[in-house]
Amino acid sequence: MPATPLLAGDPAEVASYRILGRLGEGGQGVVYLGESPQGERVAVKVLRHGPAAAGGADDSAGAGADFAREIELTRRVKAFCTANVLATGDLNGLPYIVSEYVDGPSLAQVIAQRGPLRGAELRRLAIGTLTALAAIHQAGVVHRDFKPGNVLLGRDGPRVIDFGIARGLDSGERTAAELVGTPPYMAPEQFSEAGSGPPADLFAWACTIVAAGTGRPPFGSAHLPALINRILTAEPEVGDLQGDLRELVLCCLAKEPAERPAASRALLTLLGHPVPAKRLLAAGQESATPPAPQPAAGQGAEVQNGPRPAAGQGAAAVPPEPQSAGRGTQTPRRRWLRYSAAAAVLAVLVAGGAAYVLTRTPGEQAAQAVTPSPEHSAPSSQRSVPSPGRSVHTLAKPMRTSSTATVRLPDWSIKVYDNPDDPLWVTSIFGVTDDPAAGNPAYVRDPASGTFTFFGNFQTPEVSPGGGYVAALGIGTLARTDFNVLRLVTRRTGEDVQIRTSDKPGDTTDLRWSDDERLLLTVREGKGEKRRATGFVVVDPVTKAVTVLDVAGGGTGPFVWGPGGSVLHQGQDGTVRLYDLKGAELRSFPGVGELFAANAVTSPRHGTVFSTRCPPPGRDLCLWDAATGRRAAEVPLGEGHVFEGWLDGEHYLATTSSGGRTKVVMVDLRGKVVRTLVEGPAKELDKVTVSLTIR
């Protein structure tokens, strides 16, 4: 930000800081470019009014005490994505604040000159500014004038400036002549006697992110009376913001302050994984740090890929931004991604299984007969386990016994072996990559071209039978304290919505489709060995109708689809029960062994059956008639095979590993491998989930 020459009456020095020029001027004061005795650049803000003017002559002493207290709180704000306060004092009765100088344009300037931000750049801005607000609020300070002009885009990420000052200057919320704040970014309560607090900062944050992503604040910038009316009564316009960022922005734009999340909770949502409270600000700052610049060709340095777009932001590449001087080649962003990609899910698992949807993928839950509790199975919790189209179905034709085409998955050296005559095919993948900058990506397959396109980070997409919809659970919903959400994409129209499902404290997990394109999710509560299913959710993707049912006595496993619009679940007592979609128990099947988390299947040979690991001492696969509970068949489970579900009435799906490689195979009813469907290095495929769906 270039400085302009000083004007008559500007100070030559403020305390020990030499004044070099003007950086800007606003309603509160003038900001100067200064230099410390050590030659370091600083920003010096000299306020226009002293404490007495802020509160009026009659209560100048009280206003002065309030101002001094606010200044002290400001100095306590931890320097995470903020401009660190270096000194405060009094210059001829006017307060001043000295902070570190951020060499970069304001967000307002960038929007005006370049237009809206996109993809990873917008997400880094959102995370960095939330980190700053969390730090500010932790210190007991309220910003009260959060807007694009108070966000500087430094080389090491966004920095929030001018925090806490407005509250110290203006002990009253407003006078008859003016409002405190910038109207397009003010919350409804700031126009009333309710005043402003941390929730107003979150409202302003959301307005700022909308302006950054669309070029204009969500309620426009009309004349003041019309603008205030829109803020008080109208719905916000958030443009093409997508995914969890869109959802969070809308939550923060709630008219009622109590309905907005705290800054720390909002930050956790965007980080997409649980973070210990002591590391939250550091994790936020690391995630907001731009990637290192790519070296010029021929320099011999390793070229790092830029970050992948955030969930729902598309796959457009974002140009790398300059790295701040003095930082090492490994940026904090990469350190965090390495942690999140490899260790975060294990840390959460040990902490009580809060990330069950990711740490035990749908196929892993299919193997829960071997490992009935995720807390007892850390090695298998990392295993890649494909999930076939989990539907009660009779396929028009069986899977082919050989493949004709090979497709390599993005980001991995994993290969998929296809046959155009297969009734099922690989439609989505998600997992961990070896590239620390890649995060935990998810891809879905385009039904026309057969290619995989990026879907988002920390998402678990599942394509519906026939490919009309893509549904996903994001790990960010685990950080919410109000309710769970489901992301649903309608491919024909491109509609991408967040659907509210069950209320907290339970988490929704184990997304699975039925043949008629209904969605079933399991609600779980508790931690560790006490974590149990407490009910299920059914979602109609056409009408967006949601039904939430509570079921008593649930076990550790998920609910799965049964025959004729029913669901199956194994209770804590070991009995498998069949429920209707109103939660009423229809039948019970005691003593059938441990239920695999795979939907019931209709076989020409055996009718509609559900699958268990045979009762002890058996280890094979038992099929049970879903109507009568009669044992229909016992299928040998091949040596080293982990059952993952059914491909057709004559073949099941399994994973097997040997010699450092893992395969997803088709196995016949004799336990013999017929064909390999997916293959790759164990170190890759064991961390990736591959899902198959009916074409």
Nearest to 262 by CA among 133, 113, 418: 133
CB 135 within 8 A of CB 165: no
CB atoms near residue 430 (< 10 Å): 24
CB 311 within 8 A of CB 410: no
How is domain 344-694 classified at the architecture level of CATH? 6 Propeller (2.120)
Full 3-state SS string of 273-334: CCCCHHHHHHHHHHHHCCCCCCCCCCCCCCCCCCCCCCCCCCCCCCCCCCCCCCCCCCCHHH
User: Residue 89: what residue type?
Assistant: G
Phi, psi of 4 (to 5 degrees): -110, 160
- pLDDT recorded at residue 587: 95
Nearest to 146 by CA among 95, 88, 82, 89: 82
User: Given 3.40.50.720, 3.30.565.10, 1.10.510.10, 3.40.50.1980, which CATH number is that of 13-285?
Assistant: 1.10.510.10
- pLDDT recorded at residue 354: 20
- pLDDT recorded at residue 192: 79
Angstrom distance (rounded) from CA 441 to CA 340: 12
pLDDT tens string 212-244:
999 999 999 878 888 999 999 999 999 999 888
Angstrom distance (rounded) from CA 479 to CA 81: 22
User: What secondary structure does DSSP assign to 393-404, as a single string?
Assistant: ---SSPPPSS--
In the DSSP assignment, the letter for residue 352 is T
Phi, psi of 454 (to 5 degrees): -65, 135
- pLDDT recorded at residue 333: 22
- pLDDT recorded at residue 75: 66
- pLDDT recorded at residue 60: 46
Element (H, E) at 90: strand 85-91
- pLDDT recorded at residue 522: 97
What are the structural domain ranges in the chain? 13-285, 344-694
Strand order in the sheet with 585-589: 560-561, 567-570, 576-579, 585-589
6 Cβ contact list (under 8 Å, min separation 6): 12, 19, 21, 22, 32
User: Residue 194: what residue type?
Assistant: A
Helix (H, G, I), strand (E, B) or coil at 642: strand
pLDDT tens string 430-468:
887 766 545 578 899 988 888 898 887 778 899 999 899
Handedness of CA 183, 120, 429, 656 (dihedral sign): negative
Helical ranges in 343-388 per DSSP H:
344-351, 356-359, 362-366
Helical ranges in 313-397 per DSSP H:
332-342, 344-351, 356-359, 362-366
pTM: 0.51
Angstrom distance (rounded) from CA 289 to CA 632: 58
- pLDDT recorded at residue 367: 25
- pLDDT recorded at residue 574: 96
Nearest to 260 by CA among 184, 183, 190, 200: 200
Nearest to 423 by CA among 401, 397, 403: 397
Residues of the chain with pLDDT under 50: 52-64, 166-178, 295-392, 437
